[in-house]
Amino acid sequence: MTMATVELKDVTKAYGDVGVIRGIDLSIADGEFVVFVGPSGCGKSTLLRMIAGLEEISTGDILIDGTRCNDDAPRERGIAMVFQSYALYPHKTAYGNMAFGLKLSGMGKSEIDVRIHEAARILKMEELLDRRPYQLSGGQRQRVAIGRAIVRHPKVFLFDEPLSNLDAALRVSMRREIAKLHTQLGSTMIYVTHDQVEAMTLADRIVVLNGGVVQQIGTPIELYERPRNLFVAGFIGSPKMNFIEGEITAVETDHVRFSSPDTGEVTVPMLATGATQVGSRATLGFRPEHLALGGGEFGISATVRLIERLGDQSFLELETASGQLIVARVDAAHPANLGSQLTLGCDSVRLRLFDDEGLAV
């Protein structure tokens, strides 16, 4: 299977005066699985379509396998794309759908047949080849769409929210199949999703986008452990990170002192080399799963306002004395009731601090 690198150099896209992609630099290695993630309208699908050649770029360069391909048609870029809506040709069988691109490239019938049966074997869909799209379930259609991409032996696979139209159970199983497929083929894959669980479970590296700007690029664990700003901290993790507003009271070489009415004075490790000043406003962040009843670096007293029971665990939504809402993950056996007063704490190493511009301290 052919593999390739993808490089974006200061790529922008604007519709008239409205910029939707603003100066993106990105280097994707051979065989890497990169996920673009972000909220609706952040530009992730537009960026993918620009790599595919389906959307013109305004400025910058796109290089696939080291070759600048800004002006190349999609078919000249050596890419294959899987769409959210499957985009199967409704009048063709699964076989016909997979053969269409190969026929256009002038490939012989026997070679086409070999490739299609090889892809069908990988995707376990040999018995579906004679069916038309309307005779297939959602998962089967997506399998055919992936098969159509595989048979082309592309340099780069592009996935545009391929699992969004599937139900929850099918989404999980197809997600695993895509992960297995990447291991099996070892191809470069770029995957767009708004679902951060998909991003975390599939990616070698995640690119978090917001407003057409890259917020952070890193491995799933890097993004989870060391978010670069408030946006990434809030976007990665489910439920999202809790935030408490306060101010910086002291700056030491490797830690910062932060104070708020809810937490009192707490010590937070310094992870970034930001310009932090005593007296400036800051936001303390801590994840629901890192809150513990009673102990920790600080103790927040809060009242239970909502309980979401998931079976093995529960999420409690609590209101602090200053009226801020935070979420805590607790064991399902926890006897909390609506209106209960609890004291929660968090280890110092789990605390994250963001300055008044939202950047990690």
Partner 1 sequence: MSSVRKGRLFRASKARPLDALLLGGIVLVAVVSAFPLIWMVLSSFKTPAESMQVPPVWIPESVNFQAYGEVASVINAGRSFWNSAVIATTTTLGILITSLMAGYAFAKYRFRGRDLLFAAVIATMFLPPIVTLIPLYRLVGSIGLNASLAGVIVPNLANAFGVFLMRQFIAGVPDDLIDAARVDGASELRIVFTVVAPAVVPAIAALALFAFVYHWNTYLWPLTVLQGQVDSYPIVLSLSRLLSYNRGAMNTGLVMAGATMAVLPPLVMFLLLQRFFVDSIVSSGVKG
To partner 1, the closest distance from the beta carbon of 105 in angstroms equals 6
Would you say 148 or 175 has its CB closer to partner 1? 148
Residues 6+ apart with CB under 8 A from 137: none
**What are the start-end ranges of the E strands in the chain?**
6-15, 18-28, 33-37, 59-64, 67-68, 79-82, 156-160, 188-193, 205-210, 213-218, 242-251, 255-260, 264-269, 281-286, 292-293, 300-309, 313-320, 325-331, 341-345, 352-354
Would you say 135 or 173 has its CB closer to partner 1? 135
Would you say 188 or 276 has its CB closer to partner 1? 188
CB contact at 8 A, 52 and 77: yes
To partner 1, the closest distance from the beta carbon of 337 in angstroms equals 38
Would you say 84 or 267 has its CB closer to partner 1? 84
Nearest to 13 by CA among 57, 71, 63: 57
Would you say 161 or 355 has its CB closer to partner 1? 161
Nearest to 96 by CA among 139, 74, 128, 122: 128
CB contact at 8 A, 310 and 332: yes
How many residues are listed for the chain in this entry?
361
To partner 1, the closest distance from the beta carbon of 1 in angstroms equals 18
To partner 1, the closest distance from the beta carbon of 92 in angstroms equals 8
Would you say 144 or 202 has its CB closer to partner 1? 144
CB contact at 8 A, 147 and 123: yes
Q: Is 253 helix (H, G, I), strand (E, B) or coil?
A: coil
To partner 1, the closest distance from the beta carbon of 144 in angstroms equals 12
Would you say 133 or 345 has its CB closer to partner 1? 133
To partner 1, the closest distance from the beta carbon of 141 in angstroms equals 8
The region, left, alpha or beta by phi > 0 then psi within -120 to 50, assigned to residue 86 is left
Interface residues with partner 1 (CB under 8 A) are 49, 52-54, 73-75, 79-81, 83-85, 87-91, 100-101, 104-105, 133-135, 141, 148, 152
Tokens of 165: 């139209």
